[in-house]
Structure 1
Amino acid sequence: MATILELDTCATKSLAVCAHPSTSWVALRLASRLLEFSFHGLPWIIFSCIGIVMASNDKETHLKVNFLLALFLDLVVVVIIKSTVQRPRPQHNSPGDNMVTFDLDKRFSFPSGHTTRAIMCGCLLLHCFDLNLVYQYGVICWAISASVSRIILGRHYVSDVVAGAGIGFLQFYVMIHYLWLDKHYCWQFHTLTRSVFG
């Protein structure tokens, strides 16, 4: 077990080429930071809520409410695992360089919440929308690149990201097969949000 952790630490350190703000890999760091923001939980939740309020039909409401439910599922799962495992962030991570994070998320590394969200949302987008091949590859590349950026930026160990990908896929599976709300409940939620915020 110790050998596996040592290999994980060594691989993580060698791949974290953009961990420091003064890195020579300026373009890669900028791209990684943009990918980091693209799967930050807060914007996803805010835009999902706005989308629900602005939804104009049953189908749209159905998808957006279930996406919001999936995001809260992801939040709960990641918080529970991080608070249980309590694995510290890699030593080369720059804490002041992180985007808006909670204390628990700032301190603990396992699993990568960005990765669980990227893989789950990527799978949901592929499952729920009839995308052509170009968009399918775009979604896949986006989710994988965002996950890999966590290592490049020095935010997570390789094992955090691998585990995050597995957890993200499991969350997608649980959502589709066990937690997916029907249109009736979604429309009721839409009506409630419109009465509160509309």
Structure 2
Amino acid sequence: MAQVTRERVPLFFMELLEIDKKVTKCIVEKGNNLLVFRSMRLQYRALEVSCHGIPWLAFWIAFTWLFNDSSLIQLQVNMLLGLLLDIIVVAVCKAYFRRRRPSTNQDDALGQMGPDVFSFPSGHCSRAVLVLFFFTRLWPVPMIFVPPMLAWVFSICASRILMQRHYLLDIVGGILLGLLEGGVMDFLWLSEDSAKYVMSYLSDEKIDGGDYHV
């Protein structure tokens, strides 16, 4: 019987991952040398929760059901689809690449189960970038809100490294994935009538203004 041999990771990728580990370690060490970063564990945890998939999905479902306003339905449905897309794509990517988190990571991250025990790509970063893309391109908010969102996205990405949840390459992968997901949502964007139809189907109620409404 022929023996089944495991597929070996190409040498180029092995070297790239080793460089990634060294660069990430250097960033963490320099960050920890600064008291302002070393004492911000609580703030990092708050940022972690603020961009976790479960709270975001729960909040958005609650927001969708509690604020039953026809003018918000297109926003609500498209963002809900975007969040579901991000969660599914990140889970599939992590299950496929199966890169372990840094050995110095403390297993106290919210929801570290299933594919989320793996590191690449960063779901927090992809989600943060997707939200930024959504509210700057797909459903633009007033410019006064853009700088705080940029600061939030940057803080999410930086904290994932300084908390030692991810390597630098995981962060880059998450950012690129978030941009890709934003492009997909731009292509698949549901019109107001389509969003009302989806909401009517999910809630089993007729929404005023839809083509089906009588």
Q: TM-score range by the shorter chain?
A: 0.7 to 0.9
Unpaired runs of at least 5, structure 1: none
The runs of at least 4 aligned residues of structure 1 exceeding 3 Å deviation read 23-27, 191-196
Secondary structure at the residue paired with 1:45?
helix
Larger Rg: 2
Unpaired runs of at least 5, structure 2: 1-11, 206-214
2:196 to 184, 187, 190: 187
**Is 1:162 aligned to 2:172, yes or no?**
yes
Look up the match of 1:136: 146
Secondary structure at the residue paired with 1:88?
coil
1:32 shift after superposition: 1.4
Which one has more relative contact order, counting CA pairs under 8 Å at least 6 apart?
A: 1
Provide the rounded CA distance (Å) in 2 between the counterparts of 1:60 and 1:26: 41
Identity of aligned residues (%): 32
Q: CA RMSD in A?
A: 2.4
Look up the match of 2:134: 124
Provide the rounded CA distance (Å) in 1 between the counterparts of 2:15 and 2:154: 27
Count the aligned residue pairs.
190
1:130 shift after superposition: 3.0
Q: TM-score scaled to structure 1, two decimals?
A: 0.86
Secondary structure at the residue paired with 1:146?
helix
Look up the match of 2:101: 89
Identify if the C-alpha distance between structure 1 residues 158 and 92 changes in structure 2 by more than 3 Å, giving closer, same or farther.
Answer: same
Look up the match of 1:32: 44
Look up the match of 1:100: 111
1:193 shift after superposition: 4.6
- The answer to whether the Cα contact below 8 Å between 1:93 and 1:154 also exists between their aligned partners in 2 is yes
Give, as a single letter, the amino acid of the residue that structure 2 aligns with 1:99: L
